Amino acid sequence: EPEVTQTPSHQVTQMGQEVILRCVPISNHLYFYWYRQILGQKVEFLVSFYNNEISEKSEIFDDQFSVERPDGSNFTLKIRSTKLEDSAMYFCASSPNGSGEKLFFGSGTQLSVL
Amino acid sequence: KQEVTQIPAALSVPEGENLVLNCSFTDSAIYNLQWFRQDPGKGLTSLLLIQSSQREQTSGRLNASLDKSSGRSTLYIAASQPGDSATYLCAVWDGATNKLIFGTGTLLAVQP
């Protein structure tokens, strides 16, 4: 079965640094998502992306966050100035056609902000 | 606002037992419901997806049911094995917000 690929699997950074989390969605999918899970808490929605623009975002997704599809295959999440509370597992997901479709998740990037 | 709750939060059973995990959601306006498995520190593995028009889905030893009107879903695992030990998450695609909203999870331990 096709997979969503995320790199790196672990990222350690200092508070205030910029990080970029990378994802390669399934090739024929049109909708892309970022979710995160703080240790011991629920998986929570961050942002959805379609047709090269954000379609939905949560209140967590403030000006420190941005997403980009720089080419035909990659989908990135950038955190400009990391905070301690950004430490979490970040999941990328994709779906063929959006609402009501099965979401395929990557294996996640564990971000640790020191 | 859609809230998804899973009961119990944790469950320990002996190997071979059949078990049921419960999921409830507050708003019945959903597109679908997915059950996921999550191993410690790992990603989300999709187990079953039930569309809002469906009542149940089966895959191997897993059977998921959906009662949209009452806001409930169950995941039935037959003949449990130690390898089934993981956290099981349910998630609903919420019609109002157009997002996949996750439950709190059930941590399952199957004792050999």
DSSP letter, residue A102:
P
A49-58 tens-digit pLDDT: 998 999 999 9
Candidates A99, A103, A105; nearest CB to B98 = A99
Q: How far apart are CA B25 and CA B29, in angstroms?
A: 10
Residue A98 confidence (pLDDT) above 80: no
Looking at CA atoms only, how far is residue A100 from chain B in angstroms? 5
Look up residue B97 and give its amino acid.
T
Amino acid at B70: S
At B54-108, the pLDDT tens digits run 999 999 999 999 999 999 999 999 999 999 999 999 999 998 888 899 999 999 9
Concatenating the DSSP letter of every residue in B82-109 gives GGG-EEEEEEEEETTTTEEEE---EEEE
A residues 18-57 near B, CB within 8 Å?
33, 35, 42-45, 48, 55-56
With contact defined as beta carbons under 8 Å apart, do B64 and B35 qualify? yes
Token pair listed for B89:
């998450």
A57: three-class secondary structure by DSSP: strand
pLDDT value at residue B11: 95
